Amino acid sequence: MIPVTKPYLPSREKLDKYIDGIYERHWFTNNGQLVRELTRRLEEYLGVENLLLVANGTLALQIAYRALGVSDTQPDENPEAITTPFTFIATASSLKWDGVEPVFADIDPDTWCLDPAKIEAAITPNTRAVVPVHVFGNACNVEEIGSIARKNNLKVIYDASHAFGVQYKGESILKYGDAATLSFHATKLFHTGEGGAIVFKHKEDLARARKMINFGITGPECIEELGINAKMSELQAAMGLCVLDEIEMNLNARAVVWQRYEQALGHTVKRQIQSPGLGYNFAYVPVVFDSEEQTIRIAASLKDQGILTRRYFYPSLESVVCLGDSHSHEVSSDIASRILCLPIYSDLSERAQELVINVIKAELAA
């Protein structure tokens, strides 16, 4: 079986040493030594400041909304945030869960990121924020989104779950917006098994969020903030430190796999057009076929050969009834109906990849 993705497993020997230290210290959570070390090393590696580690990527979004006041409400207020329907459910459901109505705007047909031209028409007196997604690690049009947000006094929280290590015009893409959130789920390029992080623009927002992730507790007998338990554990941090030690090897191996796909399929299927100035991280290989019927047929043929793919992101989220926005978003709906993500991970063999490519080419020629 060739899975669509699988967790990167770092050195077991090194992981065991970190775990031995946890056992010696008897400190498993509450901002332990390894969490502090991982925070420092990630800020250095990513070239950012004000990074906060949390238990998962969904909590990263929710804490960011709270810390930036997006979900602070008074009676009779109905806060809204403009976001993309072409994303994982957590981007929108985290807003809804926190009492903020997700309002969808359509995506750019080439980059597949939130289209700035569609944002302003979606702004209402209730709009508090824009929540764009760097889809598959591709950079949003951060300049135009920033300009619209400043003009309308809106917060910008980037869902950067796919954008670990991505550079834009020579700097980390995580520096844009009032906050950018990361997912460190097991299948991500960089992972901690489960986990996430928030990069804040301002230190005061980081300080508020740091209180929130520990129930609002700031001392043995002091509770200053309405909070929740969103802390990263020492065991998660141990995995992250091991993965970070080997990140360049992982990245380089994925780049080889990604480039093989690009050379073999780049002219036969629609591919995501990367934003100018992007330094990519080779996190995903999404391809778009001519029709939904063709997409389903090719996915079935690949599965018959023991190759798993994923219709990622499908469905387009305006069709999800519980999210409450039934407006049509033509581009997102179209791309979502015709997309497949192909297998990519660092140890995907050339032989296995050739099988994927050959099945697709045979189906396209049929």
So which residues are the catalytic ones? 188
Through-space distance between the first and last CA atoms of the chain, rounded to whole angstroms? 24
What distance in Å separates the CA atoms of residue 300 and residue 270, rounded to the nearest whole number?
Answer: 19
Distance CA 188, CA 143 (A): 27
Q: Report the alpha-carbon distance of residue 312 to residue 329 in Å, rounded.
A: 17
Phi-psi region of 240 (alpha: psi -120 to 50; beta: other; left: phi over 0): alpha
Helices (H), the chain: 12-25, 33-46, 57-67, 89-97, 116-119, 142-152, 203-212, 234-245, 247-265, 292-304, 330-338, 350-365
CA dist list (Å): 262 to 54, 266, 283, 361: 35, 5, 13, 13
Nearest to 107 by CA among 79, 136, 127, 69: 136
Q: Return d(Cα 220, Cα 239) in angstroms, integer.
A: 30
Q: How many angstroms separate the CA atoms of 361 and 366, rounded?
A: 9
Radius of gyration of the chain (CA): 21
Residue type, 306: G
Cα 45 to the chain's mean position, in Å? Answer: 18
